[in-house]
Amino acid sequence: MEDLLRPIYQERASHPNTLGILFIDKNKPISPVTDNFDIILLVIVSDADKDWFVKHYEFKGKTAALHIVDEKLLKEWIDTSTYRRAVEWIVNGKVIFDRNEYVTNLKEELRTFPEEKRLLKKAIEFAKLTRSYSESRDLFETEQYLDAYSRVLRSLHYLGRLAIIEKGFHPEVIVWSQVKRIDPEVYKLYEELIQSEEETSKRVELMLLAVEFAVNSRAKPCAQHLLEVMKTKDEPWSFGELKVHPKVQSYAVDLSSMVEYLATKNIIEVILVETKGNHIFHRTYQVKA
């Protein structure tokens, strides 16, 4: 199949802004990694007119998808897990064109998973986890047990992804088989939730306790990215200042629940600032000394 697609990728390789091309083959009947296409061709370019261009092909009963992605967008996908398939494409893809070892170096960076990128990913997943856990507890307390079950299952998903990152790996599209290999304790929580014969309310109640313990034990290391941002100035931060800071944009949508959780755990402290209103204060935040 690679030979049949050769004219397509050779034409792309001739462009001076093409940095690398990878070939990803479908290796099982149902393949979420390739969106069920038989072949993915990933073309990484610089200074593209479009950040992401996709074209679909069919030949001899087979299907292929060509993805032309600007390197800046690709790196954003990698750093923030917004398109997790891309990480697997790079890690497992066959390199068929590599200008100045661009793809080789990118593969090595993914393999080593530098600490600064790991901190960002942990913050992103932890922010999602705090929001999902809070929603789960609220639904449970209002006796919306099926919705609470759905939310606590999502919380476990974020916890599973966190466990993978903590061990120095990138979460894949198929998470739980990866968690089973890397962190059996977290996987056991997942099994207990979905396989228990207890009634739904009891399963959710027990799992909320387990998730609460897991969140508490991970709070400070998983929030390190945010805490380091907050330490860049001596004065307390307003929430508005934190929300627009360039380094937290990847988890700004979940920042409110994360900040509130860290405040309740005394990892950051709330500093009240007077306003013109009588007995009304601005809440500002700083890292607990």
CATH code, 26: 3.30.460.10
Give the number of domains in the chain: 2
Find the CATH number of the domain harbouring 179: 1.20.120.330
Burial of residue 126 (CB within 10 Å: 0-12, 13-18, 19+) is: buried
Provide φ and ψ at 100, rounded to 5°: 55, 35
Does one domain contain both 154 and 271? yes
Give the per-residue pLDDT at 59. Answer: 85
227 and 85 within one domain = no
Q: Which residues contact 143 (CB under 8 A, 6 or more apart)?
A: 201
Q: Are residues 123 and 97 in the same domain?
A: no
Gap between the Cα atoms of 280 and 283, Å rounded: 10
Q: Same domain, yes or no, for 210 and 242? A: yes
Per-position pLDDT tens, the chain of length 289: 666 678 888 888 889 999 999 999 988 888 888 989 999 999 999 998 899 999 999 988 889 999 999 999 999 999 988 888 999 999 999 999 999 999 999 999 999 999 999 999 999 999 999 999 999 999 999 999 999 999 999 999 999 999 999 999 988 877 898 999 999 999 999 999 999 889 999 999 999 999 999 999 999 999 999 999 999 999 999 999 999 999 999 999 999 999 999 999 999 999 999 888 778 899 999 999 7
Q: What is the dihedral of CA 275, 277, 279, 281, to 10 degrees?
A: -30
Q: Are 157 and 164 in contact (CB under 8 A)?
A: no
Would 1 be classed as within a structural domain? no
Residue 168 is which amino acid? Answer: G
State the Cα–Cα distance between residues 86 and 107, nearest whole angstrom: 12
223 and 251 housed in the same domain: yes
Residues 47 and 158 in one domain: no
* Residue 179 forms part of a structural domain: yes
**Which of 69, 88, 112 marks a domain boundary?**
112
Residues 21 and 162 in one domain: no
What is the pLDDT at residue 174?
A: 77
In this structure, the answer to whether residues 179 and 108 fall within a common structural domain is no
Task: Looking at the structure, tell me whether residues 103 and 220 fall in a common domain.
Answer: no
State pLDDT tens for residues 28-66: 888 888 989 999 999 999 998 899 999 999 988 889 999
Residue pointed to by tokens 């999502």:
154
pLDDT digits over 163-178, tens only? 999 999 988 877 898 9
Residues 184 and 195 in one domain: yes
184 in a structural domain? yes
Looking at 97, 112, 127, which one is the last position of a domain?
112
Residues 168 and 250 in one domain: yes
pTM score over 0.85: yes
Per the structure, the complete domain to which residue 226 belongs is given by 115-287
Same domain, 17 and 105: yes
